């Protein structure tokens, strides 16, 4: 019957279908074995890993300075450790903070834009108790600071900003200015919500008390800071090269170099050279009082004139060698002289 497939044709179509399905499964397996990295187009990565490592190196010193400064200020052992340097959006940073928390909005001229320093209640209240003679260690209540507590704690925030300025001083000198303090993260509004920021998270330990504080740096400020970090690194490399050059030069100044004065040249035949005897005189191609060549090492560098100083032969340097002399090093084509017998 026309339009109907035979059994052989049906078997051939089924075999082709199995081959297509098998090849599709194989390709999916190959894709699944590849490394796939998720990318968020709403928050593109602005800072490279090398830039983040540079910021980590800078702020590791900040953690050490804070440990020393806070310990001496409140007269108890305070240990501050760098937890992480993380790129976020400002909105995500605000959502990650407890409420209430202490946020100090600051300006860091000459760097552009504002920044923020945030101190968790788990750090604020133990430090405040220690500063006012109380006993830290009680349960920390999530409540806003009173005006008196806020005024007292401003002194400690000033020391934190001094440590930030000292940390960045080798990169760029800044003069921190405290503009306002907020206790609701939503009201701080340092930058627009979608602005990329770098969050420097610091872990603070005081006895058995433990908490976090952070430094929020908007992208424009970080770009300016990284620019100065790059300039500082280039200056450091240049200075290191200069110091290495000075060390090499100082080491070479004590190297002994042979200095040879060429009074003249002469060419002898083999027979003349074999017939030389004691007291024979070889006539050179240099006239009396003419300039002579001064060799330093294996190069002609100076012109001189033969003389005498305190009954000793000497050569006075009268100038640098001419370029053809420096290139050739010796005069060619001198005729064979006569040998005088004495």
pLDDT, tens only, 96-145? 998 889 999 999 998 888 999 999 988 888 888 888 777 666 555 678 88
Question: Does any domain span residue 20?
Answer: no
Distance CA 278, CA 341 (A): 9
Question: Does any domain span residue 114?
Answer: yes
The full 3-state SS of the chain, as one line of letters, equals: CCCCCCHHHHHHHHHHHHHHHHHHHHHHHHHHHCCCCCCCCCCCCCCCHHHHHHHHHHHHHHHHHHHHHHHHHHCCCCEEEEEEEEEEEHHHHHHCCCCCCEEEEEECCCCCCEEEEEECHHHHHHHHHHHCCCCCCCCCCCCCCCHHHHHHHHHHHHHHHHHHHHHHCCCCCCCCEEEEEECCHHHHCCCCCCCEEEEEEEEEEECCEEEEEEEEEEHHHHHHHHHHHHHHHHHHHHHHHHHHHHHHHHHHHCCCCCEEEECCCCCCCHHHHHCCCCCCEECCCCCCCCEEEEEECCEEEEEEEEEEECCEEEEEEEEECCHHHHHHCCCCCCCCCCEECC
172/285 same-domain check: no
Which one of 202, 237, 272 terminates a domain?
237
149/297 same-domain check: no
133/209 same-domain check: yes
123/170 same-domain check: yes
Position 330 scores a pLDDT of 44
Confidence of residue 81 (pLDDT cuts 50, 70, 90): very high
Q: Count how many domains the chain has.
A: 2
Confidence of residue 336 (pLDDT cuts 50, 70, 90): very low
pLDDT, tens only, 324-333? 666 665 444 3
233/263 same-domain check: no
Confidence of residue 33 (pLDDT cuts 50, 70, 90): low
Distance CA 208, CA 247 (A): 52
In this model, does residue 45 exceed pLDDT 80?
no
Position 333 scores a pLDDT of 38
200/292 same-domain check: no
228/270 same-domain check: no
Question: Does any domain span residue 73?
Answer: yes
- What is the domain-level CATH number for residue 107? 3.40.1550.10
Beta bridge partners of 242: none
Question: Does any domain span residue 9?
Answer: no
Closest CA to 128 of 143, 144, 150, 106: 150
220/263 same-domain check: no
Which one of 185, 202, 237 terminates a domain?
237
160/203 same-domain check: yes
172/280 same-domain check: no
Question: Does any domain span residue 1?
Answer: no
Q: What is the mean pLDDT of residues 43-60?
A: 82
pTM for this model (two decimals) = 0.58
Question: Does any domain span residue 164?
Answer: yes
220/273 same-domain check: no
Q: What is the mean pLDDT of residues 83-89?
A: 92
Question: Does any domain span residue 161?
Answer: yes
Average pLDDT, the chain: 80
- What is the domain-level CATH number for residue 293? 2.30.330.10
Question: Does any domain span residue 135?
Answer: yes
Q: In terms of residue numbers, what domain contains 319?
A: 259-340
233/286 same-domain check: no
């Amino acid at each position: 019957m026309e339009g109907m497939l035979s059994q052989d044709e049906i078997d051939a179509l089924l075999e082709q279908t199995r081959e297509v399905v098998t090849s599709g499964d194989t390709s999916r397996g190959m894709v699944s074995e590849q490394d796939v990295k998720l990318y968020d187009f709403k928050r593109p990565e602005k800072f490279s890993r090398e830039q983040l490592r540079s910021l980590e190196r800078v702020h590791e010193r900040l953690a050490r300075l804070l440990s020393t400064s806070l310990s001496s200020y409140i007269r108890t052992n305070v240990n501050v450790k760098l937890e992480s340097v993380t790129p976020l959006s400002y909105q995500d940073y605000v959502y990650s903070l407890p409420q209430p928390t202490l946020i100090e909005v600051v300006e860091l001229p000459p760097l552009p834009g504002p920044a923020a320093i945030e101190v968790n209640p788990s750090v604020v209240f133990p430090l405040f108790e220690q500063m006012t003679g109380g006993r830290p260690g009680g349960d920390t209540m999530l409540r806003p600071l009173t005006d008196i507590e806020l005024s007292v704690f401003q002194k400690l925030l000033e020391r934190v900003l001094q440590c930030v300025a000292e940390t960045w001083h080798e990169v760029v000198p800044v003069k921190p200015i405290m503009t306002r303090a907020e206790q609701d993260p939503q009201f701080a509004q340092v930058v627009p919500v979608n602005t990329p920021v770098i969050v420097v998270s610091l872990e603070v330990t005081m006895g058995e008390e433990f908490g976090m504080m952070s430094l929020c740096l908007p992208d424009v400020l970080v770009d300016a800071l990284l620019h100065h970090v790059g300039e500082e690194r280039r200056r450091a490399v240049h200075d290191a090269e200069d110091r290495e050059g000075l060390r090499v030069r100082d080491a070479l100044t004590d190297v002994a170099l042979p200095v040879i004065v060429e009074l003249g040249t002469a060419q002898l035949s083999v027979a003349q050279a074999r017939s030389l005897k004691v007291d024979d005189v070889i006539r050179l191609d240099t006239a009396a009082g003419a300039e002579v060549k001064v060799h330093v090492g294996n190069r002609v560098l100076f012109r001189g004139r033969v003389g005498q100083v305190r009954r000793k032969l000497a050569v006075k340097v009268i100038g640098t060698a001419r370029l053809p002399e420096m290139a050739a090093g010796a005069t060619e084509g001198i005729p064979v002289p006569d040998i005088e017998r004495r």
